[in-house]
A and B are shown apart, each in its own frame.
Chain A
Amino acid sequence: MDRDGGTRIALAVFAAQLRDRPLRLVVAIVAIALGIALTAGVYLLNESALAEFGRATRELAGTADLAVRGGRGGFPEELYAELARRPEVRVASPVVEREVSLAAGGTLPVRGIDPFVAGALQPALYASLARHLLTLLEPDAIALSARAAAELRVGRGGVLAVRVAEDVRRLRVVVVLPEGVYAGRLGIMDIGSAQWTLGALGRLDRIDLALAPGVDAGRFRATLPLPAGVDAVTPAMEEGRATSLTRAYRVNLDMLALVALLTGAFLVFASQALALLRRRQQLALLRALGVRRFEVRLAVLAEAALVGAAGGALGTALGWLVARGVLATLGADLGAGLFDSAAVPVVASPLLLAAFVGLGVLVAVAGAWLPAARAAAAPPARALRAGDAGSPGEADASPWLAVALLAAGSGCAFGPPVRGLPLFGYASIALLLLGAVLLVPAFAGRALAWLPPPRRPLPALVLAKLREGIAQSAVSLAAIVVSFSLMVAMAIMVHSFRDSFDRWLGEVLPADLYLRIGPASDTSYLTAGDAALLATLPGVARAELRRSLTVSLAPERPPVTLIARPLAGAAAGLPLVERASNPDPALPFAYVSEGMRDLYGAVPGAVLELPIGGVARRFVVAGVWRDYARSNGTVVIERSTFEALAGEQRYSEGGVWLLPRATVAAVADRIRTALRIGPALQLVAAGDLKRRSLAAFDRAFAITYALEAVAVGIGLLGVGFAFAMQALARRAEFGMLRHVGLRRRDVVAMLSGEGALLGAVGAGYGLLVGAVLSLVLVYTVNRQSFHWSLDYVVPLGQLGLIALVLVASSALTACLAGRLATGDSAVRAVREDW
């Protein structure tokens, strides 16, 4: 037989198989499709969100080479005059950037610019203003982006009422930017008007610089005489800073999607292994007829590639639809509140989409690689013997490989973050998982051997059958172990997080009622007079106002939140995790979040420089506290110290303690009436705030649960499929059992029992592995991604429940498979093999 002929025959036989067993095909395709859909969906979501974010950043930065910027509150405008006069500077564009409180509630980001120079740097953004320059110079004039106009329901010629300190100012909308110029919400004013109208006289928040030809931005940056807290960043740094805000979140999602894909690959492996097992005789016959080894192998891989291509194409389309749906409904951050932009388009090049289809092929081929090699290697003579079911796991790797993998995985768990990402942590999880999977047959064998032999015949039969076929079952067990252990790990991590978060909320929300202006408004604030007024209101025991602002401590990092509030007691009213034993008493105390310690090395006792009022002030780190609200770093200092250094008494938020008989609603009404701030003032009872925070937490993790559920679903699909295959393969055996007197439902019950037992073994092992993985998640991945510690708490009830569900669904799929397999007459089944 010539070579081509052999290949043709092999392919034709496999093609016939594909025709005759469409269910197996469908299951494998669906498994790949789900994995690819998740991977593609999450990837496209992240890329689209980032592209949108990057576009907005670039539109705002335009062609500027450098942006000089301070934290909230900005810097004196004299810096602009100084920089604009430098010969290295071609264009200097001063900017006031404020979150402006709207009288109707909410805020709007407003940019005050000099349209005469800004147009040169941000032509795309300001071109449509060119014919409205003089109108825009009028002090009450504002231009709105299309989205801002639509959301605020105000058009050209309309009036927008904003709140600045205690006043309401009416701005006239003189221009609405065309659609597509800026996707976000934005208001644009003349810089002089913005300084005056928005209460920013003498201050700038940003200066965009275009440098003269030949001037190196990096070197020029270093020569700038910038006040403390002000830095000069290149657009790349700025974009990196913005995207680093969400990087950890995005990488976590990517990893989860990859887990789903990995499970899918495992499923292909399991299905191929079992299918080939069933077709051993067929393959042996082919080999006996002269088809060569590599031809068998090629045919198996070709089939897998076909399955992969179909699943990949289906999955890519599905992923694209999912990404589009999520972007349209939840926004670019999946509802986590990290980005502000609506109607983000899905960014996907044909090449990228093709790559996802290719990934599907790759995963399927990888899954079929080992089974294909085995099928090709099987000696025809032995395989041709009837009744030899063989074992897919017979040439199992030595346990030393598994042990080595586990050891390496454990070592990686202690690795440091790489460029701010817990890459070692992820590697640790992958290695531990792989090692654990290799040990599945050994574990399952031990577990079954350890069970006492049951007295009744049917359970005894179940156990005996499982013990005998453990090597076969191990493959399908591995798929379920992968997805289930990851689900267990995630469940423990999320539960630990939620539990810690819940207790943390109790610690950081000691007051009865919270008030805040904003959210995050730059133009509205409370004064010392308001503070005094609050304290005298009936029903109020005590009111504590605080100032919250952002400062930049490193140009390449997102800004740090600085909170000035009264610090009382030894713990300063903070959930401290570390305390300085002997802080320098000559310096004012600063209490930093764990993020500050990790990112800026602000360990207890260290000296920390904070820019306040344009001057770097020295503080000593007196303690480290847990801050689940902000992962980029938070510093708390004594309010009176801040006021003395900054020379201002403005407050952005505060808490109110009630007298014993006072009700929250009544006091809230009194505060609202007394302060006369309007809807910009938010008053929330501590209980409501806690509830809302937990709801937001659950929303943010809903997507995580959804991804995990899909992964486990794929795993279960694999288990069900494996049982079905085994049941079909054992039809002869069932026929024999029927001959010796077992009823059909006895056979089905036996299979269900096998399923339940296998499910229980998988669940037990998965729980064990998952618990180990959760340690890596809690102490390494979470810690390095978000810079906060968690208290490790195991949700026993929840885990027990999902383990039960796993066992039950395993039994159920086995039962269904058994019914399917025993449907034929016993006689025919026996005949089939003889």
Chain B
Amino acid sequence: MRGLAGATLALSAALGVAAAAARAGDLAEYPAVTPAAAVSLPADAGAHPDFRIEWWYVTGWLETASRQPRGFQLTFFRIRPAAGRDNPSALAAHQLLIAHAAVSDPARGRLRYGERIARQGLGLAAAEQGRLAVHVRDWVLEERDGALTAVVHAEGFAFELTLEPAGPPLLNGARGYSQKGPSPASASLYYSLPQLRVRGRLVRDGRAEDVTGSAWLDHEWSSSYLDAESVGWDWIGLNLTDGGALMAFRIRDAQGRARWAGGTLRSADGATRALAPSEIEFVPGRRWHSVQDDADYPVEWQVRAGPMGFALAPLMDDQVSDSRLTTGAVYWEGAVEARTAGRLIGRGYLELTGYGERLTLGEPQER
């Protein structure tokens, strides 16, 4: 459940399809995600290039040797544009790969943010099929011998992290079929790897330090994600202190009401169950104003998810990712702590999308 930016591009791509189809009559065909579909690992860890959009999304908490908390995220989006599929050029944009990376540093108060965008080809950027291996030039997310490697070299910061799964993958929804709206057509195939054990090095402004921590990987692919009435979503992925994991989201309409919701809860003993829309409630609390996109983001929440109830508080208020240079989107994506009656029960990431401009800000609408 990730990636406003990606979704923006997906929408753009969709509109591109409509326009191209209207022109050429060659309706580009993207495979649909149906309720009968299921995630099958390890094969599904790789790319699904036929689908319109796909992402691998790593978020987590890090701790420096001096026990300072930091948040980090690394995302690779894969977009399949609608037009130009029969272009034999090796440089044709058959697949676009977009990488976003950010480090939340409370001492700095703002995100360190970097991005890369490239078309797949000539070995400069690729998302492999059959196994998790994506890269855009020297930014890499790759699985090898059961562990993931994440490498980022951005302006002002860099990290090289190894992430080891502590348990089996978490298939969201029904065996990975994750519905995103009232219609079963709005859906993705979606699994998560919670409770990833992290170690590695974090470089900020040229100073390197060793870090450890815990992270979360989402891998999701779809051809039709949000329906026309939805404007954005609120999403959390929490590594619980007792070893369990919780993913919960809700899709909002233009009035800010929940149009749909879903989630997955794994308890400490490994028992996993999908949460029904009625079991999930997001109640916004304190709002913070972002000057970058002139939007008010609720950065504190009261959340009810199945049997759990907790308060969310951010590592810092300003965790806005401004990817207008590559994808045209601005969203809040940040490290949060979850507490029940003041007691820390988990740490993870909160994603808030569609609070600034409407989600449909891809430029093909201008045509």
Interface residues of A in 120-165 (CB under 8 A from B): 130-135, 137-139, 157
Q: Is the CB of A137 within 8 A of B124?
A: no
Known: A81-B124, A116-B119. A135 touches B91 (CB 8 A): no
B360 to chain A, nearest CB (A): 13
Q: How far is the CA of A139 from the CA of B117 in the complex (A)?
A: 19
Q: Is the CB of B363 within 8 A of A138?
A: no
Q: Indicate whether A802 reaches chain B with its CB closer than 8 angstroms.
A: no
Q: How far is the CA of A117 from the CA of B84 in the complex (A)?
A: 20
Instruction: Identify 20 new A-B residue pairs, CB closer than 8 A, beyond the known A116-B119, A134-B13, A137-B84.
Output: A77-B91, A81-B124, A84-B124, A116-B117, A130-B328, A131-B328, A134-B363, A134-B364, A135-B16, A135-B364, A135-B366, A138-B16, A157-B367, A174-B367, A192-B91, A193-B84, A193-B89, A195-B92, A196-B87, A196-B92
In the complex, per-residue mask of B127-139: 1 if CB is within 8 Å of any chain A CB, else 0: 0000000000100
Q: How far is the CA of A174 from the CA of B123 in the complex (A)?
A: 30
A residues near B, CB below 8 A? Answer: 77-78, 80-81, 84-85, 94, 114, 116-117, 119, 130-135, 137-139, 157, 174, 190-193, 195-196, 201-202
Q: Is the CB of B363 within 8 A of A132?
A: yes
16 contacting pairs across A/B (C-beta < 8 A): A78-B122, A84-B122, A85-B124, A114-B91, A130-B328, A131-B363, A132-B366, A134-B12, A134-B81, A134-B362, A135-B16, A138-B16, A192-B91, A195-B92, A201-B88, A202-B90
Q: Indicate whether B325 reaches chain A with its CB closer than 8 angstroms.
A: yes
Interface residues of B in 62-87 (CB under 8 A from A): 81, 83-84, 87
B60 to chain A, nearest CB (A): 28
Q: Which of B84, B88, B367 has the most CB of A within 10 A?
A: B84
Q: Is the CB of B123 within 8 A of A81?
A: yes
Q: Which of B9, B93, B96, B118 contacts A117 (CB 8 A)?
A: B118
A157 to chain B, nearest CB (A): 8
Q: Indicate whether B326 reaches chain A with its CB closer than 8 angstroms.
A: yes
Q: Indicate whether B174 reaches chain A with its CB closer than 8 angstroms.
A: no
In the complex, per-residue mask of B99-129: 1 if CB is within 8 Å of any chain A CB, else 0: 0000000000000000001110011100000
Q: Is the CB of B91 within 8 A of A191?
A: yes
A130: chain B residues within 8 A (beta carbon): 324-325, 328
Q: Is the CB of A196 within 8 A of B137?
A: no
Q: Is the CB of B12 within 8 A of A192?
A: no
B364: chain A residues within 8 A (beta carbon): 134-135
Q: How far is the CA of A193 from the CA of B86 in the complex (A)?
A: 11
Q: How far is the CA of A138 from the CA of B87 in the complex (A)?
A: 10
Q: Is the CB of A116 within 8 A of B118?
A: yes
A85: chain B residues within 8 A (beta carbon): 123-124
Name the prevailing secondary structure of the A interface residues.
helix
Known: A131-B363, A192-B93, A196-B88. A138 touches B20 (CB 8 A): yes
Q: Is the CB of B89 within 8 A of A201?
A: yes
Q: How far is the CA of A202 from the CA of B122 in the complex (A)?
A: 11
Q: How far is the CA of A190 from the CA of B92 in the complex (A)?
A: 8
B137: chain A residues within 8 A (beta carbon): 84
B90: chain A residues within 8 A (beta carbon): 77, 202
Q: Is the CB of B326 within 8 A of A116?
A: yes
Interface residues of B in 152-175 (CB under 8 A from A): none
Smallest Cβ-Cβ distance to A116: which chain B residue: B117
Q: How far is the CA of A77 from the CA of B20 in the complex (A)?
A: 28
In the complex, per-residue mask of B1-41: 1 if CB is within 8 Å of any chain A CB, else 0: 00000000100110010001000000000000000000000
Known: A81-B123, A84-B137. A137 touches B93 (CB 8 A): yes
B20: chain A residues within 8 A (beta carbon): 138
Q: How far is the CA of A130 from the CA of B81 in the complex (A)?
A: 17
A191: chain B residues within 8 A (beta carbon): 89, 91
Q: Which of A117, A135, A137 contacts B367 (CB 8 A)?
A: A135
Interface residues of B in 232-286 (CB under 8 A from A): none
Interface residues of B in 191-209 (CB under 8 A from A): none
A174: chain B residues within 8 A (beta carbon): 367
A114: chain B residues within 8 A (beta carbon): 91, 118-119
Known: A139-B83, A190-B93, A192-B119. A134 touches B9 (CB 8 A): yes
Q: Which of B13, B122, B328, B362 contacts A80 (CB 8 A)?
A: B122
Q: How far is the CA of A195 from the CA of B91 in the complex (A)?
A: 8
A646 to chain B, nearest CB (A): 22
Smallest Cβ-Cβ distance to A137: which chain B residue: B93
Q: How far is the CA of A84 from the CA of B137 in the complex (A)?
A: 8
Known: A116-B326, A134-B363, A138-B84. A192 touches B122 (CB 8 A): no
Q: How far is the CA of A725 from the CA of B316 in the complex (A)?
A: 91
Q: How far is the CA of A119 from the CA of B118 in the complex (A)?
A: 12
B3 to chain A, nearest CB (A): 16
A116: chain B residues within 8 A (beta carbon): 96, 117-119, 326
A139: chain B residues within 8 A (beta carbon): 83-84, 87, 92
A119: chain B residues within 8 A (beta carbon): 325
B136 to chain A, nearest CB (A): 10
Smallest Cβ-Cβ distance to A174: which chain B residue: B367
Q: Is the CB of B124 within 8 A of A135?
A: no
Q: How far is the CA of A119 from the CA of B88 in the complex (A)?
A: 24
Q: How far is the CA of A756 from the CA of B137 in the complex (A)?
A: 83
Q: Which of A84, A117, A137, A195 has the most CB of B within 10 A?
A: A137
Q: How far is the CA of A138 from the CA of B367 in the complex (A)?
A: 13
B85 to chain A, nearest CB (A): 9
A84: chain B residues within 8 A (beta carbon): 122, 124, 137
Q: How far is the CA of A85 from the CA of B126 in the complex (A)?
A: 14
Known: A81-B123, A84-B137, A116-B117. A135 touches B92 (CB 8 A): no
A684 to chain B, nearest CB (A): 36
A471 to chain B, nearest CB (A): 79
B326: chain A residues within 8 A (beta carbon): 116
Q: Which of A134, A190, A193 has the most CB of B within 10 A?
A: A134
Which 6 residue pairs are nearest across A and B when measured between Cβ atoms?
A192-B92, A81-B122, A139-B84, A138-B83, A195-B89, A116-B117
Q: Is the CB of B81 within 8 A of A137?
A: yes
Smallest Cβ-Cβ distance to B367: which chain A residue: A135
Q: Is the CB of A135 within 8 A of B363?
A: yes
Q: Which of B13, B87, B326 has the most CB of A within 10 A?
A: B87
B13: chain A residues within 8 A (beta carbon): 134
Smallest Cβ-Cβ distance to B90: which chain A residue: A77
Q: How far is the CA of A94 from the CA of B89 in the complex (A)?
A: 13
B363: chain A residues within 8 A (beta carbon): 131-135
B84 to chain A, nearest CB (A): 4
A355 to chain B, nearest CB (A): 44
B318 to chain A, nearest CB (A): 24
Q: How far is the CA of A85 from the CA of B124 in the complex (A)?
A: 7
Q: Which of B83, B93, B364, B367 has the most CB of A within 10 A?
A: B93
Q: Is the CB of A134 within 8 A of B16?
A: yes
Q: Is the CB of A192 within 8 A of B87?
A: yes
B301 to chain A, nearest CB (A): 33
Q: How far is the CA of A661 from the CA of B163 in the complex (A)?
A: 86
A595 to chain B, nearest CB (A): 36
Q: Which of B9, B16, B84, B118 contacts A192 (CB 8 A)?
A: B84
B178 to chain A, nearest CB (A): 26
B330 to chain A, nearest CB (A): 14
B12: chain A residues within 8 A (beta carbon): 134
Q: How far is the CA of A138 from the CA of B88 in the complex (A)?
A: 14
Smallest Cβ-Cβ distance to B20: which chain A residue: A138
A80: chain B residues within 8 A (beta carbon): 122
A297 to chain B, nearest CB (A): 68
B31 to chain A, nearest CB (A): 21
Q: How far is the CA of A676 from the CA of B81 in the complex (A)?
A: 36
B87: chain A residues within 8 A (beta carbon): 139, 192-193, 196
Smallest Cβ-Cβ distance to B137: which chain A residue: A84
Q: How far is the CA of A114 from the CA of B118 in the complex (A)?
A: 9
B88: chain A residues within 8 A (beta carbon): 196, 201
Smallest Cβ-Cβ distance to A112: which chain B residue: B91
A193: chain B residues within 8 A (beta carbon): 84, 87, 89, 92
Q: How far is the CA of A672 from the CA of B118 in the complex (A)?
A: 45
Q: How far is the CA of A116 from the CA of B325 in the complex (A)?
A: 9
B186 to chain A, nearest CB (A): 21
